[in-house]
Amino acid sequence: MPLQNRLKEYRARHGLNQGQMGQLVGVSRQTISLIERGDYNPSVTLALRIAAVFGVQVEDIFSLTGEEEP
């Protein structure tokens, strides 16, 4: 099932580029780019790490298509 994400929005809000974001969560810049484009769905572990960087819940960043966003 397709996953929507607001990673780019949160990343821009915190002034992080893709490389910096990748370093914070332990993945490559390419992976951050793939997630933002919707070409890759992160693992649960990675999604939790991403949410922890911004101090929000996973559901604030990632949601299933068709679900209402907060």
Partner 1 sequence: MKKHVYLKFAGTLIFFALVGAAIGYGSGALLSDLGVAKIYDLRRWLAQLASQAAFWVLAADLALLAVGFLFCLRGKNLGARALEKETDRLYEKAEEALCRAMTLANISVVLGMAAFGVACCDADVLLRSLPLFLLAEGLGMVLQHLTVRRTQALNPEKKGSVFEARFVRQWYDSCDEAQREQIGWAAFKSFRVMQSLFAWAFVPLALLGCYGLVGPLVFLVWGGLWMVQIVSYSVYARKAEKGQMK
> What residues make contact with partner 1 under the rule CB under 8 A?
17-19, 26-31, 33-35, 40, 42-43, 46
**Closer by beta carbon to partner 1, 14 or else 67:** 14
User: Least distance from C-beta 70 to partner 1, angstroms?
Assistant: 26
**Closer by beta carbon to partner 1, 35 or else 61:** 35
β-strands 62-64, 3-5: how paired?
Answer: antiparallel
Structure tokens of 31?
């992976």
Q: How far is CA 43 from the centre of its chain?
A: 11
Contact by Cβ (8 Å): 38, 62: no
User: Least distance from C-beta 27 to partner 1, angstroms?
Assistant: 4
